[in-house]
A = this chain, B = another copy of it.
Amino acid sequence: MAVNTTQIELLRKLLRHGAKERVVKTLSKFRAADLAEFFKHLSPVEQRAFIDILYSQRQAAYTLLELPDGILEEILDVLEIEKISVLIKRVAADDAVFFLSLLDTDRADQVMALLDEPTRQQIERIRMYPAESAGSLMTNEMMTLTDSMTVAQAIEEIRARAEEHEFIFYVYVVSDSGTFVGVVPIRRLITAPPDTRLQDVMAVNPVAVKATDDQERVANLTARYNLLAVPVVDDQFKLLGVITVDDVIDVLTEEATEDMYKMQLLSDEDRVYSPVGKSIQRRMPWMVLNLATAFLASTVVGAFEATISQVVILAAFMPIVAGMGGNGGTQTLTVITRGIALGELGYSDGIRTIGKQVLIGLVVGAGVGIIAGGIAWYWQGNPFLGLVLFLSMIVNMSIAGLAGAAVPILLKFLNQDPALGGGVIVTTFTDVFGFFAFLGLATVFLQYLV
């Protein structure tokens, strides 16, 4: 966005000529995310020269953090262990863990060996928590003060420690026993009388997540309560760290991608920039599974070979039944999956929701069925063909509503991801039942169709 073609060409030229001073001067205008933008357009050799310059300017770590995971992984693969260890020392513990997660085990161990003991311990603490847990996202660089402190003392503390704390907007208050008891926005420290105790200005009953909670819960709480940072606690409500809203935004984006991907049985790592070989490797097994479900529909059609052999034109209408059912089912699936993700399903219970979607399918099916049936009648000059298409459209669109709603609700009820494979499951249902209804009805009315 903020980077244009002229700037890219200039940077490439300066890098090729090794004009380090001028590169540094040019870069001072940009933020980390903009610097990351340049990477897309550089050759591997230029990328290396660019990293060395960023590195000398202490800008490498935060720039690299803005790259997509796949691209960052490739860069880290060829960077020296020593350089990676310096990068890691310059970032917060949660980002350090993220860097380490992109290295293979051997290299990660070598990097860890180069770190000082306190840094290593901090990293180990966060690494204990599973990926996508609140603990894996938190930073321990928050300002924690005790509730008996006065506002004046708090301000003194902030002055003394402000340099180490980049992202201070709240002060977190703990009791003498270390229990997390409240939050004070920095603003309130300015407006409150200096001799007030923190316990008298803090917001009590603070919202917090457990370190083992899923990141989706963190994102939902942030959105729900309009938070800027989510405190993370242990079972005894002791404060372990905070998750800042910028990390929550990344989680929200990631979770939305995950939902879309899971519906289509795509691997999270199958991205626009992924190498072709990796994408193929990731899609193949799922497509084989998909093939197995497609053969189910195929056997249904095969069972009606005799009917089709007598009324061959039936084959021409099969794509209409399958196509409309498939799209109708996917529509319902999208509405329900998204409704579950946004917590909207609670506004009406599962059974009622399924019923509603079946009813919608039935009415929409009748509507498009009349049109499709009419066209079939006019095209082939046979009212019974139109009737068969009309009726099977109603059946199939109702099945589409049923499967599209019931599959994610059932998955949710079984504590599975409601999006998982929904697209494939639902189209299998609509294919199988759609063909069964269409060809079955055609068999019933066979004498009027030949």
B-binding residues in A (CB < 8 A): 1, 29, 31, 33, 37, 40, 66, 68, 71, 155, 158-159, 162, 168-169, 185-191, 205, 207, 220-228, 245-246, 248-250, 252-253, 256-257, 259-261, 263-266, 270-273, 276, 279-280, 283-284, 287-288, 290-291, 293-295, 297-299, 301-302, 305, 308-309, 312-320, 322-324, 326-328, 330-331, 334-336, 338-339, 342-348, 353, 356, 359-360, 363-364, 367-368, 371-372, 375, 423-424, 427, 431, 435
Q: Given A158-B191, A347-B71, A359-B276: A266 and B331 within 8 A (CB)?
A: yes
In the complex the two chains form, is A169's CB within 8 Å of B228's CB?
yes
A36 to chain B, nearest CB (A): 9
Residue of B nearest to A266 (CB): B331
A258 to chain B, nearest CB (A): 10
Point out the residue from B272, B293, B334, B356 that lies within 8 Å of A336, measured CB to CB. Answer: B272
Q: List 30 A-B contacts (CB under 8 A).
A: A31-B207, A31-B225, A37-B346, A66-B224, A68-B342, A162-B190, A168-B185, A186-B187, A189-B190, A257-B342, A265-B327, A266-B334, A270-B335, A272-B335, A272-B347, A276-B363, A279-B356, A283-B331, A287-B327, A288-B371, A290-B368, A294-B323, A295-B320, A295-B375, A298-B316, A301-B319, A305-B313, A305-B315, A314-B315, A315-B315
In the complex the two chains form, is B319's CB within 8 Å of A294's CB?
yes
In the complex the two chains form, is B356's CB within 8 Å of A324's CB?
no
Residues of B within 8 A of A186 (CB): 169, 186-187, 190
CA distance in complex: A40, B328 (Å) = 27
